Amino acid sequence: IDFLEFKPSEIAAAVATCVVGKTQAIDTKKSISTLIQYIEKVKTPGPFQMT
Residue 10 lies in a domain: yes
Residue 11 lies in a domain: yes
Q: Which of 16, 41, 40, 36 is nearest to 26 (CA)?
A: 16
Residue 13 lies in a domain: yes
Report pLDDT digits (tens) over 6-28: 788 878 877 877 776 665 556 66
Instruction: Count the domains in the chain.
Output: 1
Residue 27 lies in a domain: yes
Residue 48 lies in a domain: no
Residue 51 lies in a domain: no
- Band the pLDDT of 50: cuts 50, 70, 90: low
Structural domain of 12: 2-43
Residue 25 lies in a domain: yes
